[in-house]
């Protein structure tokens, strides 16, 4: 009787041995910084001269003229880019899942390739496309759509459009892989039965594919929302400090400004960063609630 107990205990200790290093890294690199950032958010001051001021920084958010603009920009990206990206990813996944499609491996690699491209590199490429002497202005001038080059990056709406275009181009393939995996788990007999009943491919997409992919769609929506709220690299690489003015400024870029531009404000920057956490949490709970009701 003792031998099985000792063996079970041995397995338990080995389990803790393998789990402990990862747990320590998660605590040191994730949980501890989160707690410390919250403590700093309760302090005010310039540079490292911080003093405890309670919730003063959180009340400051409602008086800050720049923060609402950054939030509005982020939600504009979110409301336009995420639905478009998810819809395109669903269409691409359905096409790539077609059993009659030739060169599937090539097309799947082609769709996923933007996601594997270095983020800064892809952003700079799009920046060069829409510059005054870029390829977009070249074709606009060549086909006489305009008489003078358009300064896309200095126009508030065009600059937003370019950022949305870059994000969509980069992450559509990433979500396509998720939907493709979900489609491959759907029994083909469901589609065969629907075809026998005279259901068109479009009807099959809306009546079979979308309902069965609902959990995957919910997952990708939550991830896309989280990523968009933390948008930084594209804005930093394409625009001039979130310009023109604050037209493309995001919350993460505003945090960067608070930390590395002019006078460092650690306490308020930590507060703004926690606003992202609060928004992500609220939106995730709403999406999960809506997903449960729909299902």
pLDDT in tens, 196-241: 888 888 888 888 888 889 989 999 999 999 999 999 989 999 988 8
pLDDT(160) > 60? yes
1 has pLDDT over 50:
no
Q: What is the pLDDT of residue 117?
A: 85
Would you state the pLDDT for residue 7?
Answer: 63
Per-residue pLDDT tens over the stretch 245-277:
889 999 999 999 998 887 788 999 999 999 999
User: Between residues 150 and 202, which one has the greater pLDDT?
Assistant: 150
Give the per-residue pLDDT at 128: 93
In which band, very low, low, confident or very high, does the pLDDT at 100 lie, cut at 50, 70 and 90?
confident
Q: With bands split at pLDDT 50, 70 and 90, how would you rate the model's confidence at 188?
A: confident
| pLDDT tops 90 at residue 130 | yes
Provide the residue ranges of all domains of the chain, joining segments of one domain with +. 64-294
Please check the confidence at residue 48 and state whether its pLDDT lies above 80. no
**Which of 167, 184, 191 has the alpha carbon at shortest distance from 80?**
167
Q: Is the pLDDT of residue 295 over 80?
A: no
CATH number of 64-294: 1.10.3720.10
- Digit-coded pLDDT (tens) for 11-23: 778 888 888 999 9
pLDDT > 70 fraction of the chain, expressed in percent and rounded: 96
Does residue 5 carry a pLDDT above 60?
A: no
């Amino acid at each position: 009787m003792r031998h099985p107990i000792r063996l079970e205990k041995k397995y338990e200790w080995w389990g803790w041995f393998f789990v402990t290093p990862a747990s320590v890294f998660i605590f040191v690199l994730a949980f501890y910084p989160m707690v410390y950032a919250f403590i700093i958010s309760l302090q005010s001051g310039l540079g490292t001269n911080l003093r405890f001021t309670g919730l003063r920084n959180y009340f400051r958010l409602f008086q800050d003229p720049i923060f609402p603009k950054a939030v509005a920009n982020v939600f504009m990206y979110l409301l336009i880019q995420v639905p478009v990206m998810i819809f395109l990813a669903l269409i691409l996944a359905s096409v790539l899942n077609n059993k009659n499609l030739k060169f599937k491996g090539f097309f799947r690699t082609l769709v996923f390739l933007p996601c594997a491209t270095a983020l800064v590199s892809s952003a700079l490429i799009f920046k060069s496309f829409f510059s005054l002497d870029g390829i977009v202005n070249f074709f606009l001038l060549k086909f006489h759509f305009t008489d003078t080059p358009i300064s896309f990056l200095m126009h508030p709406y065009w600059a937003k459009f370019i950022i949305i275009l870059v994000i969509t181009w980069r992450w559509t393939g990433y979500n396509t892989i998720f939907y493709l995996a979900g489609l491959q788990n759907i029994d083909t007999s469901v589609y065969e039965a629907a075809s026998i009943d005279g259901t068109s491919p479009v009807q099959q997409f809306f009546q079979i594919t979308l309902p069965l992919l609902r959990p995957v769609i919910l997952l990708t929506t939550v991830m896309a929302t989280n990523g968009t709220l933390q948008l930084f690299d594209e804005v930093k690489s394409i625009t001039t400090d979130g310009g023109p003015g604050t037209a493309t400024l995001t919350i993460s870029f505003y945090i960067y400004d608070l930390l590395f531009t002019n006078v460092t404000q650690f306490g308020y920057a930590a507060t703004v960063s926690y606003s992202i956490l609060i928004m992500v949490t609220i939106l995730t709970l709403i999406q999960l609630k809506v997903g449960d009701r729909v299902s």
